[in-house]
Structure 1
Amino acid sequence: MKLHECERIDIVPGTNYKIIQNRKNFSYGTDAIFLSNFAKPKGMVMDLGTGTGIIPLRLLDRGNIEVIYGVEIQKQVANLALRSIELNNLQDKIKILHMNLKDLPNHFGKCTFDVITSNPPYMKAGGAIVNPEENYAISRHEITCNLEDIIRVTNYLLKQQGKFYMVHRPDRLVDIIYTMRQYNIEPKMIRFVQPKIGKKPNLILIEGLKGGKPDLKFHDPLIVYNDDGSYTDEIYEIYGMTKQNSQFTIHN
């Protein structure tokens, strides 16, 4: 496959799949890797805001999956994801949709999916300085969709007892739980991600169950670095690496 200027091919961590990324654009980071490790996919799966397709590629070999749809509003980014799927000959298992996720109810029936994942923009509109590069701005700020849009669409698409997995920032936790309950998705599990033991968490992973009963549990935190700056054993495991074969860098 011919690459365009500034493009490169990387190996998807923990798999044998390849992914095309553009060095000038927003690439996947730890949040996508942690979310794909946290999620338990099965059946019909939808990834909202799929970017370059990293989460579908990471999820595919886990669980009994029929098909994964990855939805991405940015045409250039969706095209990268589609080319990565073609590069791996996975067109029958992963479908990339270039569209606004808010339009999904016009294209899919209600209660169609078993699992939905999302690594959404974290920043509220007007809550921080917006990056002038459109790709970075849409990826980080609630410009084309917001938290409620994602959870409302999730409620429509998920089957009863279907599961929702999301990665977000700890400072949005109250908004997340409140909005999930508004749309009948009960928070069931939360895992905090901490840079080091004793440091404040900078990410949260949350699992919700459509129509579930209140019973929130907290997983042990995911610690990224040891005190000496080396990666913890769990990070090596998540990335599918060993300490002896650890030529990888975490992209924040």
Structure 2
Amino acid sequence: MSTSFRFKQFTIHQDRCAMKVGTDGVLLGSWVPVSEEVDTILDIGAGTGVIALMMAQRSNAEVIDAIEIESSAYEQAVENFEASDWGDRLFCYHASFQEFFQEIEETYDLLISNPPFFKENYKTQDVDRDMARFEDALPFEHLFIGVSRLLSENGKFALIIPFKEENTVVDIGKSVGLFPQKITRVKGTPTSKIKRSMLLFGFNNVSCEPDELIIEHDRHQYTDSYIDLTKAFYLNM
């Protein structure tokens, strides 16, 4: 089985990462609005570094930082950054987000996170994988407190979560002065249940009407909207 994942403009090596490239990260990196004004970006919980690399491809941001707590994933993200065409704009910190936001003075125009969100008590024997998958390492409350400190005045914060957590996360956001400005709910097929929510937060309290994204009509028969969203990245789109 191949340990690398090739996109149109970069390759992700992931043999030392507990969490491999998945639909959630690619969806979020494709979906997040990136305006011309965005000059500084932070990827929280970088894993392989895929979202930061997508931001480098999609934007002219001078600074694209990432944070990764797990040693092997951190090292691999750094290697993936250095092997890309945008190595001079990408930097990864080896730290927890809690440490990072208490020490960093700068703010960012765009924060992005595909956070760990398995609250269940079930754990595996793989500590690295558990750290990547389970919310204990970075509770949503900690995430939003840190984001509220690191976000520039007109900055935005994007994340992808299980749909069942949407109301909880919106409430946590409001408690630190961050409000949803765009919500897209994701379904695998037209008849399946909503599985994920992608949310964009900012400091302005604006009205926000959720929309919906369906990935497939049928097995491997992708919808036009999903193809349009991801075709800049996936080789076969």
The two structures have a TM-score, normalised by structure 2, of 0.90
What SS does the corresponding residue of 2:62 show, helix, strand or coil? strand
Mapped contact 2:5–2:21 kept (Cα < 8 A):
no
Instruction: Tell me what 1:86 maps to.
Output: 82
Q: Which runs of 5+ in 2 are unaligned?
A: none
> Matches of 2:66 and 2:232 in 1, distance apart?
26
> Matches of 2:116 and 2:140 in 1, distance apart?
8
Q: CA deviation at 1:88?
A: 1.5
Q: CA deviation at 1:228?
A: 5.6
What residue identity is the alignment partner of 1:164?
A: F
**Residues 5-16 of structure 1 aligned to structure 2 (within 5 Å):** 8-12=3-7, 15-16=8-9
Q: CA deviation at 1:229?
A: 4.8
What is the root-mean-square deviation of aligned Cα atoms in Å? Answer: 2.3
> Matches of 1:16 and 1:241 in 2, distance apart?
9
The alignment-based identity, stated in percent, is: 21
Q: CA deviation at 1:51?
A: 0.5
> Matches of 1:64 and 1:240 in 2, distance apart?
19
> Matches of 1:231 and 1:241 in 2, distance apart?
15
Q: CA deviation at 1:161?
A: 2.0
> Matches of 2:233 and 2:105 in 1, distance apart?
43
Residues 111-146 of structure 1 show CA distances to partners (whole Å, capped at 9, x for unaligned) of x1101000001122xx24112211221111112211
Q: CA deviation at 1:153?
A: 0.5
Instruction: Tell me what 2:144 maps to.
Output: 151
**Are residues 1:20 and 2:13 paired?**
yes
Instruction: Tell me what 2:224 maps to.
Output: 233
Residues 172-217 of structure 1 show CA distances to partners (whole Å, capped at 9, x for unaligned) of 112101100011111111100001113211111001112x124122
2:117 pairs, out of 92, 98, 122, with 122
Instruction: Tell me what 2:173 maps to.
Output: 180
What SS does the corresponding residue of 1:175 show, helix, strand or coil? helix
Instruction: Tell me what 1:74 maps to.
Output: 70
Residues 71-129 of structure 1 show CA distances to partners (whole Å, capped at 9, x for unaligned) of 1000100100000111125332010111000011343215x1101000001122xx241
2:51 pairs, out of 26, 49, 55, with 55
**4+ residue stretches of structure 1 with deviation over 4 A?**
none
Mapped contact 2:188–2:214 kept (Cα < 8 A):
yes
